[in-house]
Structure 1
Amino acid sequence: MSTPHDDIQGWLRDRLGSLWGAPVTIQGMRRLSGGASRDTWSLDATTAGGSAQPLILRCDPLVKPSPEVMAREAAALSAAAKAGVPVPRLVDHGTGLGRAYLLMERVEGETIPRRLLRDERFAAVRPKLARELGRVLARIHSLPPAAVPDLPEADPLDHITSVYREFDDPRPAVELGLRWLSDHRPPSSRRACVVHGDFRNGNLMIDESGIRAVLDWELTHVGDPVEDLGWLCVKAWRFGSAEPAGGFGPREELLAGYAEIAGDRPSSAELHWWEVYGTLRWAVLCRMQADRFLSGAEQDVEYAVLGRKVCEQEYDVLLALGLVEPGTLPDVLDSRDDTAAAPPHDRPGADALLRSVQVFLTEETTGDPRLRFLSKVAANAVAIARREALLAPAHTEAHARRLAALGRRDDRELAEAIRDGAVDPGDPAVLVAVRGGVTDKLAVANPAYAAQAAR
């Protein structure tokens, strides 16, 4: 019986054979880990007597295909290459096996942020990357909108506000952030240009010499160029580093590199606005991915856990607005004796059983990179469930008291009051309720996140 893997490999053989005019052999095909929106494979394709061509195949998921987005991404790659942006060479794109695809050269290097930020082999190049990233962004922004046909264009704040409100899940911290963005929006006379839309650590192929390729152009659109600069500096993309520009260096280096090519240096106020915007945008995108799980469309553990990352971005919004300071949140799971049973049940108790599953998933060593990645995500899900079981009763009681002090029954009422101006967002009692709710959620979802440095 053939598998989906076999079907894709057979189709690739036929498609590349037609393109290259010779029989093709496909070897080393494997699905890559990460990437919640696309299926991605690495492979080598060889013609008789020829050398192996290292390739990457990206396909739309079967559940929610978007061929028009894939076509725009292909056009963006071609236009960016002409502008001197380092990108993978586009080999082919279209539809196959009932879904849209991109086929491109496989560029060698590293994309995993924690390796890029910590491994000794990147120590020499790391200090140079912030400035180099600024230069690359300036080249991307040299592209006029007409260079990539049919790019979407919308007011960014209106767009994320609309998407957020469609969830009908009002959140006080998000409402504070949206209100601040509306009140502090900087005037901009910059011309609209091609914006990458997801330019960040994790979507960059880097080796010891520098940036090899900018990846993942699916969110490309027409907009303000400072959006990309702010997105790169969002705290989530620093992966624990204190350096703002993707974890690699200071904002000043990023802006200096940008000015070298663009001839224009955005102000600190502009960049800060777009950082706050990007933080809220990531909160909304996490909630959007979680909705794929909550709606029942996809029961993938990755989408489920993304729903619990929203509070990290709520915390970062408060941090960016100066409403909270980095601090230490204790992890209730540390040094816990969880072996006691609940009579008449035997030992080990329920929490110890969950811990054993968490440890197993954390130490899963299967050779399949995708399964290894999802094992880590599943271990995180178990840890979240354990913390919630232990902390939820006290958190529920404490949050009810905070809300009662404001005359509100739940977060929905508080969020809507902030949105409508019925409460003063600077009221200390409002800030106590918002901070308390966010930090309680973070204490369950990822307590270590609260201590991560920020500048």
Structure 2
Amino acid sequence: MLATAVPDPVTVEALEPLSGGASADIWSVDITDGAGIAHALILRRGVRRGDMSFGIDPRLEPLVQRAAARAAVPTAPVLAIFADDESLGTGYVMRRLPGETIPRKLLRDSVYAGARVRLTADCAAALARIHQVPLDALPALPQLPAQEQLTFLEALHRSVEAPVPTFEVGFRWLRERMPPPAPLRLVHGDFRTGNFLVGEDGLVAVLDWELAHLGDPTEDIGWLCTRAWRFGGPGEVGGFGSRADFYGAYERAGGRPVDESRVRFWEVFGALKWGIICQLQAFAHLRGDLPSVERATIGRRVTEAELDLLLLMS
């Protein structure tokens, strides 16, 4: 699998699971190649998703990541791609880069004080580059305009048969304020604190491309501004930055002028989306489909999303 990236034979020195979530099974892998050189890698395997779920085919993720890298988006280099392997399934191997992803550490620890100063500009520039990736450089990705996503979210909410009045108001608010179609761009889909690999000097890489699609680029900005991804930090953008600074840096890096009313639409959409995700996690636990303390804990956050929605719509 790694024959085109490193000299054979490859010896696996260490293998450690990092996470096992709904979107991927991730492992830290240390190898030594045939020339005696050590390599720190990440192996990411896709997991099966049902029809009522977010996420693209895991075969597409590394192709999107490579296209983003060619457009100067900071990402981990993809070394190998595998599909339908008898023992590994479908996924890819990439370089393991140094850095931290845990929001609490990034937003509070003194070692990242310098990074926090740069993070607004770094993330704005990275997002602008994502939105400039040529569409003909990408694999066939789904087109997800706002109306289609809202319809899908409503179907997910109805599937648990537990109405939430605040969500009903949110659906109505969004339907009444549907923005006009935007030129299609690559949308990361989960561009937020927690999916940024950060070093002491700033952004190292943008992670987790499984929600990539073609759509309105403002969706990424609204998602990053959603309160859930501030993790208690003071900044309205990801917990670390101000809107004015982020919008300005994004436009200077080549992003289209930011329409604040459009950002607000996608921020309300983001709060509603997060609330429904929390609800789905709760019922996956309560119904015994995927019982876990983590899902039960996330499920309790539905009320936080309700409060965010009410504040945003007021």
Asked if TM exceeds 0.5, the reply is yes
- Equivalent residue in structure 1 for 2:133, among 143, 150, 170: 143
Counterpart-to-counterpart distance in 2, 1:98 and 1:55: 15
CA contact (8 A) 2:76 2:94 kept: yes
Select the structure of larger CA radius of gyration: 1
Counterpart-to-counterpart distance in 2, 1:314 and 1:147: 39
CA contact (8 A) 1:62 1:99 kept: no
Aligned AA (1:120): S
Counterpart-to-counterpart distance in 2, 1:296 and 1:27: 38
Counterpart-to-counterpart distance in 2, 1:310 and 1:201: 20
Hey, what does 1:72 align to over in structure 2? Answer: 60
* 1:108 counterpart = 2:94: no
Hey, what does 1:163 align to over in structure 2? Answer: 156
* 1:257 counterpart = 2:257: no
Aligned AA (2:59): A
SS in 2 for 1:130: helix
CA contact (8 A) 2:56 2:210 kept: no
Counterpart-to-counterpart distance in 1, 2:215 and 2:48: 30
In 2 relative to 1, CA 307–28 (structure 1 residues): closer, same or farther, beyond 3 Å? same
Hey, what does 1:218 align to over in structure 2? Answer: 210
CA contact (8 A) 1:287 1:310 kept: yes
In 2 relative to 1, CA 289–38 (structure 1 residues): closer, same or farther, beyond 3 Å? farther
- Equivalent residue in structure 1 for 2:28, among 35, 42, 45: 42
Hey, what does 1:5 align to over in structure 2? Answer: none
More strand, by proportion: 2
Hey, what does 1:286 align to over in structure 2? Answer: 278
Hey, what does 2:80 align to over in structure 1? Answer: 92
- TM-score, normalised to structure 2, is 0.90
SS in 1 for 2:300: helix
SS in 1 for 2:59: helix
In 2 relative to 1, CA 209–35 (structure 1 residues): closer, same or farther, beyond 3 Å? farther
Q: Which moved more, 1:56-65 or 1:232-241?
A: 56-65
In 2 relative to 1, CA 63–160 (structure 1 residues): closer, same or farther, beyond 3 Å? closer
Hey, what does 2:174 align to over in structure 1? Answer: 181
Hey, what does 1:418 align to over in structure 2? Answer: none
Structure 1 residue 47, shift from structure 2 partner: 1.5
Counterpart-to-counterpart distance in 2, 1:300 and 1:145: 39
In 2 relative to 1, CA 17–84 (structure 1 residues): closer, same or farther, beyond 3 Å? closer
CA contact (8 A) 1:73 1:218 kept: yes
Structure 1 residue 68, shift from structure 2 partner: 6.2
In 2 relative to 1, CA 18–151 (structure 1 residues): closer, same or farther, beyond 3 Å? closer
SS in 1 for 2:143: coil
Cα-to-partner distance string for 1:274-333 (whole Å, 9 max, x where unaligned): 1111111111222233343344332232223222222221121112223xxxxxxxxxxx
Counterpart-to-counterpart distance in 1, 2:244 and 2:291: 43
Aligned AA (1:177): G
CA contact (8 A) 1:36 1:303 kept: no
In structure 2, stretches of 5+ residues that fail to align are: none
Counterpart-to-counterpart distance in 2, 1:39 and 1:300: 17
Higher relative contact order (CA 8 A, sep 6+): 2
Structure 1 residue 72, shift from structure 2 partner: 1.2
Hey, what does 1:369 align to over in structure 2? Answer: none
Structure 1 residue 98, shift from structure 2 partner: 5.6
Count of matched residue positions in the alignment of Structure 1 and Structure 2: 307
More helix, by proportion: 1
SS in 2 for 1:28: strand
In structure 1, stretches of 5+ residues that fail to align are: 1-14, 323-455
* 1:203 counterpart = 2:205: no
Hey, what does 2:108 align to over in structure 1? Answer: 118
Structure 1 residue 21, shift from structure 2 partner: 5.0
* 1:240 counterpart = 2:232: yes
Aligned AA (1:84): A
Counterpart-to-counterpart distance in 2, 1:73 and 1:289: 24
Cα-to-partner distance string for 1:319-367 (whole Å, 9 max, x where unaligned): 2223xxxxxxxxxxxxxxxxxxxxxxxxxxxxxxxxxxxxxxxxxxxxx
Identity, % of aligned positions:
41
Aligned AA (1:307): G
- TM-score, normalised to structure 1, is 0.63
